[in-house]
Amino acid sequence: MSYSGFGRGSFAPVSGYAAMQGASSSKTFVPGRTLNYHVGNVGKRRAMTEEEYFNDDEEEEQPGVKEAYQKAPDSPGGASDDSDDPLDAFMAGIEKEIVQDTKERISTVEEKLKEKGTRDDIDNEDVQESYFRYMEENPNAGVINEEEDIIDYDSDGNPIMERKKVIDPLPAMDHSEIEYEPFERNFYIPHKEIETLTESQVDELRRKLGIKVSGLSPPRPVSSFGHFGFDEALLGAIRKSEYTQPTPIQAQGIPVALSGRDMIGIAKTGSGKTAAFLWPLLVHIMDQKELQKGEGPIGLILAPTRELSQQIYHEAKKFGKVYNINVVCAYGGGSMWEQSKACQEGAEIIVATPGRLIDLVKKKVTNLQRVTYLVYDEADRMFDMGFEPQVRSIADHVRPDRQTLLFSATFRKRVEKLARDILADPIRVVQGEVGEANEDVTQMVEVLPVGPAKWTWLMRRLVSFTSEGSVLIFVTRKSNSEELAANLKAKDFDLGLLHGDISQSERNEIISAFKKKDFSILVATDVAARGLDIPHIKTVINYDVARDIDTHTHRIGRTGRAGTKGHAYTLITEKDKEFAPHLVRNLEGANQHVPPGLLELAQKCPWFKKNRYKGGKGKVLSSRGLGCKERPGLGSENSTHVQDTMSLSSFRAAANAGPQSDRLSAMKSAFYSQFKSNFVSAVEQDKSASEENYAAAGGTAQLNSSLQPQMIQPSGIGGASRMGLGSEGPAKKKKRSRWD
């Protein structure tokens, strides 16, 4: 054993292995000195070589850091490199088990914490926290997208939502295969007080009423209910409803409807337009024969919503009971079975929404073959709700020579187009400031022969037109525009040409030059009919007629802009006779003069001649009431209809008027009518019964006289003394017998 010194005079034993390890760690190994004893700090230190001196810093151990114990390869217990120590392997397994057990304990503790009861007010999120979480997950919530379509609102401020259910319109119908019975439309005879008015007085009356009227030969307005010519029964119902004076739309609209004319009524809600088409409808119905089993209504009223249809239904029911007229209200959301049952029982008037009416017609619950009076109420709102195809299909299913009335709060382009398609020579009645015709444009139509007459007419007047302002000449085809422009340039007219084959940049240059008045004449096709706003255009010439009346309207609208006056000339020939009827109606609707030549040309069209208003006096109403038959209301004593005393179903009471009626009041009315028409006083009933028995028995001679005491009934308490059969005068006093 060797000792190593730890200071002065001290030493420590050093094992042979450590001595060898220490010796081997040096760079220079001296044989024979490994197992010798080293005396620390005693005597002189061995002098270090140069190499040991410079490597001394690298070989010094860092203070506080102990080297790991390493076994000698040949020492006992030393393991070879090829196999692990069993003890180390055992200890490593214990460590793994400890780690696994620790993980299991941690997971068990977490599960127990989860199983513990929690407080909702602390652990769960409240309303505010859920809102913040929702806003984090949906950052665009509540953000208004300006690119989305703007929701339309009706006149009452209610949003107009799109319908989810798509209702297919009615299929097309060929009316030429159906033979319709003729009917009378004109029931209006002007009152003497109205006939004596002058034209200036009529205009003053219309001005006071605040109405504007346009169309062919409109009747004059009235100022009292007595001017309508209604019978006393209807006037009594009107007075009972607390009507004192006709409203403006009624004062002008009812004479129009009674005359059998088609009408366009522009009026707001609450103007009294419901009565304006209901009262003439009653007169219209009473002139026709009664409905047979399986026949549809005579009057059809279409409304866009169930609320409006119910309102019209109650008004129609109130006035219809005067003549015992049945009314049915059919709308979506109501009972289909009840509405179908009411239609099958027969109704002269049906108030319906377009969708439900189409469903009833498709199910063959009713039909429209007897409809001669068609009303569209709030047509603009129907179009807003997407009912345009349905509205047109219903109009196509009604006979073509019907009377049609269209009411709307506004007169948009789609409503105007519908009016042209389904109305014949309509009279427009506008209450308020809504108008259609531009009074700043004067329209003139020239009927010319086929040939060079158009060119001759243009050459005579073109210079005077250009002296007044710019001139816009419309032609139909591109080739015609180029030909006309070349001919005008040959006559030294400075002009511009505009048609569809010209590029957009060239169009802009031509329009810009025309606005700057670089030239005063512009020849164009229909590409310039829309959107061209040039105030200094004083004259528009339709050298060729437009393809349709819509394009014609846009053409003449290029002049008379910004409050300036303008003139529009239309050149028409024999080849354009199919367009002439549309032009006549357009002029009449705008209160413009219709040349006789144009009217004569339009009469060559069969459809226009057939539907043209022919004028004449109205049908005189019979003295016993409206129409050719009598329809007494409930409780009437002069009813010619024999009622079944044992059945309430025979009464055409309000209980059968539709599923929306007041059933309690209807039953009361039915019982009251039954009692009044079938029950008489007791004395009269006994007398009539005695007479019937007397006639059936063949006289008193054939009766056994012994039976006479049986027919004498005593007068008991509360009873009435009744006479025997065949007796006259008061009953004679007889002896008391066993029969008594």
pLDDT in tens, 278-296: 999 999 999 888 888 889 9
> Is there a domain that residue 180 lies in?
no
Domain membership flag for residue 91:
no
Is residue 231 located within the same domain as residue 357? yes
Residue 104 covered by a domain: no
| Residue 494 C-alpha from the chain's centroid | 52
Same domain, 496 and 581: yes
Question: For 519-533, what is each residue's pLDDT tens digit?
Answer: 999 999 888 876 677
Query: Does residue 126 belong to any structural domain of this protein?
Result: no
How far apart CA 484 and CA 490 sit, in angstroms, is 10
| Residue 496 three-state SS | strand
Handedness of CA 656, 661, 664, 665 (dihedral sign): negative
Residues 375, 296, single domain; the answer is: yes
pLDDT of residue 541: 93
Mark which of 361, 396, 431 sits at the end of a domain: 431
Of 233, 338, 214, 348, nearest to 288 by C-alpha is: 348
- Which is nearest to 725 in space by CA: 733, 395, 699? 699
Q: Are 657 and 342 in contact (CB under 8 A)?
A: yes
Picking from 431, 466, 495, the residue at the C-terminal end of a domain is: 431
Cα–Cα distance, 429 to 405 (Å, whole number): 11
Do residues 524 and 403 both lie within one domain? no
Q: What is the rounded distance in angstroms from the CA atom of residue 365 to the CA atom of residue 373? A: 20
380 and 489, same domain (yes or no): no
Distance of CA 412 to the CA centre of its chain: 15
Q: Which residue has the tokens 């105030």?
A: 535
Together in a domain, 454 and 568: yes
Please give the single-letter amino acid code of residue 410.
Answer: T
The span from the CA of 263 to the CA of 429, in Å, is: 7
Tell me, yes or no, whether 315 lies in a domain. yes
Residues 321 and 385 in one domain: yes
Same domain, 215 and 353: yes
The partner residues of 302 in beta bridges, in order of sequence, read 352, 376
Cα 662 versus chain centre, distance: 29
Range of the domain at 599: 441-609
Q: CA dist 272 to 253, 431, 628, Å?
A: 10, 11, 29
Same domain flag for 382 and 464: no
User: CA 473, CA 569: separation in Å to the nearest integer?
Assistant: 10
CATH number, domain of 525, equals 3.40.50.300
Nearest to 403 by CA among 547, 285, 286: 285
Give the pLDDT confidence score for residue 739 in this predicted structure.
45
Could you state, in chain order, the average pLDDT of each consecutive group of 10 residues for the chain (740 residues)? 45 46 46 47 62 61 54 54 71 88 84 64 74 79 54 52 66 86 89 89 90 88 90 90 88 92 82 89 91 91 87 91 92 88 92 92 91 90 82 90 87 79 88 58 89 91 90 91 92 89 84 89 85 82 88 84 82 89 84 87 83 65 45 41 38 43 68 70 53 49 41 39 42 48
Examine residue 38 and state whether it is found in any structural domain, yes or no.
Answer: no
Distance CA 491, CA 560 (A): 28
In a domain, 145, yes or no: no
**pLDDT at position 403:** 92
Same domain? For 451 and 391 the reply is: no
445 and 338 together in one domain: no
Is 0.75 surpassed by the pTM of this model?
A: no
Residue at which a domain ends, from 407, 431, 455: 431
What count of other Cβ atoms lies within 10 Å of the Cβ of residue 209? 19
Query: Residue 340's pLDDT is what?
Result: 92
CB 12 within 8 A of CB 37: no
219 and 241 within one domain: yes
Domain-embedded: residue 311: yes
Quick one: pLDDT at residue 55?
Answer: 66
Q: Into how many domains does the chain fold?
A: 2
Angle between helices 232-240 and 306-320 (to 10 degrees): 130
